Chains A and B, each alone.
Chain A
Amino acid sequence: MSVRCDGGLIRLEGPCPVEEAETLAALLLAHPGAGVEWSGCTGMHTALVQVLLRLRPPLHGSCGDPFAARWLAPLLAPSDDG
């Protein structure tokens, strides 16, 4: 269970492999405006990063993967120019 919907939040947990990108995109498209909670995520495939970059959901918590927290979080912050 690396990607699951929990109330109004989509949670990323543990290592999130490439296959989860589809689930994540489907959940985000089905719940526009839903936030993503990623503090339990310990690693993320580029395909999921791409989904977050494209759909720019609000991110909650700081990512459990230090690389993502340090380098990806600033790039994935919601923007208005999307």
Chain B
Amino acid sequence: MGDGPPTGDLTADLIADFVAEARELVQAAAEDLLALDGAADPAVLNRVFRAVHTLKGSAALFDWPALLAVLHAAEDGLDAARAGRRPLGTDLVDVSLATLDATSRWTEAIAATGALPAGAAAESARLVDRYRGLLAPAGGVPEHPRPPGPADPVPGWAAGLLSGLSARPDGAVTALRYLPRADCFFAGNDPLGLVRRLPGLLALDLAPAAPWPPPESLDVFACNLAVTLLTADPPETVEAVFRLVRDQVTVAVLAPPSEAGPPSEPPPEADPASSEAATRTLRVDAGRIDALVALADDLAAARAALGAVTAQAASGTDLASLVPALRASDDRIGRLSAELHREAVGLRLQPLARVFRRFPRALRDIARGLGKEVALTLEGEATEVDRDVAEGLFEPLLHLLRNAVDHGIEPPETRVRAGKPAAGRIRLRAESRGERIVVSVSDDGRGLDPDLIRARAAARGLMTPAALAALDEAGVIALIFTPGFSTAAAIGTVSGRGVGMDAVRDAASRLGGACTVESRPQQGTTIRLSLPRAQALARLLLVGLGPDLYGLPMEAVDELARVPRERIHDHGPGPVTVLRGRTVPVLSLADLLDLPREAASAEARLAVLRLGDARAAIEVDRFAGRLDGLVRPLPGLAALPGLAGTTLAGDGRVLLVLDPDTLVGGWREERMP
């Protein structure tokens, strides 16, 4: 009912970040694409793909379907080329350049108006069609590593729908059976919302998965549906739409009537992982495979136990008496699937040696170009890290090494005069620290000069002179991470390429890490990147505020409470309530996020957070279930306290994940000045 903008500055900040990032990515990707036009370099192609992928991820935070659709199509097209499923021809380069051009124009429109320009939807559809045409040449059958003409026998569950089809399309039909989990609504899933995303839907059936309970005991939030459908969409599209509920769906490809003979080959599990197997191999320690197999065996045994309970239920045993067995089964399968996830994530780990090995040669060339002598030592190459983190580290590390040679290491004669060996020493080192790894680049050069940094920051107008003067030495040194600090200030031909330390910090934060610097005059500089070793699933509590859902890390949630409004008192410093004999401050999530507050209900829903020794209760509009998700850090949003990143809900929606420490930390400083 308020007339202010419903979204507030949060969205404006997000949009500003998106625009800044999109400009950079589009430009980099366009340059790379032009280079690709000459010769196909897999590393460059990969970079273009990643740029588009990152753009898509950022665009998904907003409601810009036209932009998202075209980036998605571009990602698919580039991925096909990357995986060798189709050649990277001029046609793919052309349409990708057109896509980047459109993205760039739309980004400027977004910067100016906050929305996509008129005509974006039509242009997007045209581009998507061009990609589709490229990926589905000739007979309209999509190119895919599924062997040509693959067809599954018609499964029993699809037969009814198939015979009911009045007109069967010429091409293959994909059939899908989807049994959403009973608690899927709590996880934020909307099963039919997924079905809705299939443009080629031909037939749909809904049936109770188990016999309906009597109407009076209907649990509206327990999903008891079996969804069966036929679609003209290719299996890849269907699998992409249902990728987050892959464990709950069965997909079959039904051949066109004329070809319905015996399948030429047993149908492969149409998993993107298997389609990449042809082009990408992963060396895996045999022990890890054994552990996985053992887990799979345990899981099969647990399934069998559940099957026995299901049989009892089917034979009419009182359902209530089966609850303990079901609960035990749920616990066991839950534990095993968590372990399985951990092991599977372990398969993605690779030693950093593969990245590190690329540096000695590069560094020698850089040093020679600058007339300097440098000796590089590598340490901790055996440290294992997630493959994506390893890949993402190459660029920022190369940049740090360049910087070290260019700015850190002095010319040989200066070094000798200072009593140092003529050849500068640079050390690249990795070490494990629990669930994180720390990668550092150290040099024994001249160190960072705070006075010089101050002068440059002043010259570039990054801060007011008064603010600059107030900074201590560490604060001054941290200025090298400020966007705009090193762009032109890095005068050297080697590192002055328009990317600075801010790019390094952004790269680290994209990988879920942080970047720190330590420097001593005349002794050298060390830059440390602290990064997650592997992707970890976070357990999130979903809380609702107005129409939106947010994730709160479960580890920070002490308890959930419903407290009558009259038990919340305001004694000066802010509202408090008493829970279990302790006074707890009550904060409204809407206030913390600068969003309008809904009318207060008679009962406040409080999520009590543990913050070190202190506790604070956050009031939300509703509790909306649980979600296990991969939290991706928001690029370039370090300045937005309160947010840890984003995660995907079961229905593909992007949720913001809150960071309790910074969310409440800001408030603490305000209340206790």
Q: Which residues of A contact B (CB under 8 A)?
A: 17-19, 21-22, 24-25, 29, 44-47, 49-51, 53-55, 67, 71-72, 75
Contact = CB atoms under 8 A, between A and B. Distances in A.
Given A46-B185, A49-B192, A29 B216 contact: yes
Interface in B180-216: 180, 185, 189-193, 195-196, 201, 204-206, 208, 212, 215-216
A46 B191 contact: yes
B614 interface: no
Interface of B: 180, 185, 189-193, 195-196, 201, 204-206, 208, 212, 215-216, 218, 220-221, 223-225, 547, 622
Contacts of B224: 50
A75 B204 contact: yes
A54 B189 CA distance: 19
Nearest to B203: A71
Contact of A46 (B190, B212, B215, B218): B190
B223 A51 contact: no
A51 B220 contact: yes
B221 A47 contact: yes
A18 B653 CA distance: 15
By secondary structure, the A interface counts as: helix
B221 to A, nearest CB: 6
A36 to B, nearest CB: 15
Contacts of A25: 218, 220
A47 B219 CA distance: 10
A55 B215 contact: yes
Contact of A51 (B204, B205, B218): B218
A50 B227 CA distance: 11
A15 to B, nearest CB: 9
A29 B223 CA distance: 19
A19 B223 CA distance: 13
A51 B189 CA distance: 16
B248 to A, nearest CB: 13
Nearest to A15: B547
A19 B110 CA distance: 33
A21 B225 CA distance: 15
Nearest to B180: A46
Given A46-B190, A46-B191, A46-B225, A53 B215 contact: no
A51 B205 CA distance: 16
B605 to A, nearest CB: 13
Contacts of B212: 54
Contacts of A51: 218, 220
Contacts of A18: 185, 190, 221
